């Protein structure tokens, strides 16, 4: 249901924007922020068609580079306009990787992103949710006592325990590294590299370090004294170290572009979509399950991105 439920959630945000600010729906649009030369367009277009066919909502697609010159923000009201249409919802399909900001922190892409965030348009995801998807924030959320900040009541203790039971080990490699973090690095440096993955703040597959490559990367950027105490190099601050997961395996035949890619032992990763529309005051207006994505790859393949060619789309009925 993802291709129906995600546009439906955007329509909720769109309608609430129109009602709140008194802007007629025919003057509004949804803005898709996409990458320059985007090749991964199929699901984006299906969402766009769903918005138009089922809800009569037009979509404008722009990269951050184009938005630097094409967007207009009313400094008094915060209204955001592009190509003559006021934007009710900004849907980010770009802005998640450093390559989306090629001119650096002072560049036009960062400026465009800042103007989008300062506008009154609804954002999908919001800036907070965007940051929550980064490896570093996930690592910080896994630290002892952090979940309790968000669930402080005594009657929420069981919920916190259940959430924490699903966490993998996540370890900082920055200036905030603790004794526990350094112990994990020490293990990875001394024969335990197979139990960990070294991850940068990137998505999409192809950027992680495993096994011997992980050990080499750590050795190049750490030092150990005679007592085995580890000192981290500055470059490692952009990574986290994660406990490696070993999901159950099953025999599978994988297809790509309509052709058999091969057969053998495989592993799968299931991700579930949810849609959430929340007012600036924190009131939940919409909260629904919105489908799933299942990716399957051969068990001897480390990376897992579909668009990057490491995995294939699958179905729970095949597992």
Q: For residue 315, is pLDDT > 90?
A: no
Residues with Cβ within 8 Å of residue 184, at least 6 apart in sequence: 169, 171, 196, 241
- What's the rounded Cα separation, in Å, for the pair 4 and 219? 48
Place of tokens 């179905």: 315
Mean predicted confidence (pLDDT) in 237-242: 95
pLDDT band of 21, cuts 50, 70, 90: very high
Segment of 112-121, 130-139, 204-213, 244-253 carrying the highest mean pLDDT: 112-121
Please report, for residues 15, 34, 116, 123, the alpha-carbon distance to residue 23 in angstroms, rounded to integers and kept in the order given: 10, 25, 18, 17
**Does position 304 have pLDDT exceeding 80, yes or no?**
no
Mean pLDDT of 165-194: 95
d(CA 62, CA 68): 10
**Reported pTM:** 0.89
d(CA 12, CA 277): 8
User: What is the mean pLDDT of the segment spanning 185-208?
Assistant: 90
- CA 145, 148, 153: angle at the middle one, nearest 5? 145
**For residue 203, is pLDDT > 80?**
no
Residue 249: the pLDDT is 94
- pLDDT at residue number 76: 96
Return the percentage of the chain with pLDDT > 90, whole number.
Answer: 80
Q: Where are the alpha helices (DSSP H) in the chain?
A: 2-21, 42-55, 64-70, 108-118, 127-132, 135-141, 147-150, 157-165, 179-189, 211-220
pLDDT given at position 319? 58
Question: In the structure, what pLDDT confidence band is assigned to residue 317 with cuts at 50, 70 and 90?
Answer: confident
Q: How far apart are CA 57 and CA 207, in angstroms?
A: 37
Q: How many CB atoms lie within 10 A of CB 71?
A: 20
pLDDT in tens, 209-232: 999 999 999 999 999 888 878 999
| Interior/surface letters 73-96, b for 16+ CB within 10 angstroms, e for the rest | beeeeebbbbeebbbbbbbbbbbb
- Residue 258 φ then ψ, to 5°: 80, 5
Cβ neighbours for 13, distance < 8 A, ≥ 6 positions apart:
88, 89, 122, 124, 277, 286
What pLDDT sits at residue 152?
Answer: 95
Nearest to 172 by CA among 96, 230, 238: 238
Inform me whether the pLDDT recorded for 15 exceeds 70. Answer: yes
The 3-class secondary structure across 130-155, one letter per residue, is HHHCCHHHHHHHCCCCCHHHHCCCHH
Report whether 192 contacts 159 (CB < 8 A): no
pLDDT of res. 204: 66
Residue 236 φ then ψ, to 5°: -70, -15
Residue 184: per-residue pLDDT: 97
């Amino acid at each position: 249901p993802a291709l129906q439920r995600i546009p439906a959630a955007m329509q909720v945000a769109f309608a609430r924007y129109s009602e709140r600010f008194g802007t007629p729906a025919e003057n509004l649009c949804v803005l898709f922020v996409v990458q320059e030369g985007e090749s991964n367009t199929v699901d984006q277009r299906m969402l766009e068609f769903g918005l138009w066919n089922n809800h009569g909502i037009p979509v404008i697609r722009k990269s951050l580079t184009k938005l630097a010159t094409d967007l207009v923000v009313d400094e008094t009201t915060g209204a955001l306009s592009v190509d003559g249409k006021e934007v009710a919802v900004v849907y980010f399909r770009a802005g998640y990787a450093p390559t989306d900001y090629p001119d650096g922190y002072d560049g036009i892409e960062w400026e465009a992103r800042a103007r989008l965030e300062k506008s009154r348009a609804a954002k999908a995801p919001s800036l907070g949710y965007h940051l929550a998807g980064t490896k570093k924030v996930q690592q910080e959320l896994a630290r002892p006592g952090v979940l309790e900040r968000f669930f402080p009541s005594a009657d929420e203790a069981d919920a916190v325990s259940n959430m924490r039971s699903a966490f993998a080990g996540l370890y900082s490699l920055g200036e905030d590294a603790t004794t526990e973090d350094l112990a994990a690095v020490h293990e990875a440096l001394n024969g335990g590299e197979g139990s960990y993955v070294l991850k940068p703040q990137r998505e999409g597959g192809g950027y992680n370090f495993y096994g011997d490559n992980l050990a080499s990367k750590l050795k190049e950027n750490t030092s150990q004294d005679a007592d085995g105490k580890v000192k981290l190099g500055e470059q490692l601050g952009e990574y986290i170290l994660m406990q490696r997961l070993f999901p159950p395996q099953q025999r599978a035949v994988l297809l790509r572009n309509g052709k058999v890619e091969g057969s053998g032992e495989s592993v799968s990763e299931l991700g579930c979509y949810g849609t959430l529309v929340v007012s600036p005051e924190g009131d939940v207006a919409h909260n629904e399950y919105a489908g799933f994505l299942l990716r399957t790859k051969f068990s001897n393949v480390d990376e897992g991105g579909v668009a990057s060619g490491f995995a294939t789309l699958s179905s729970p009925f095949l597992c």
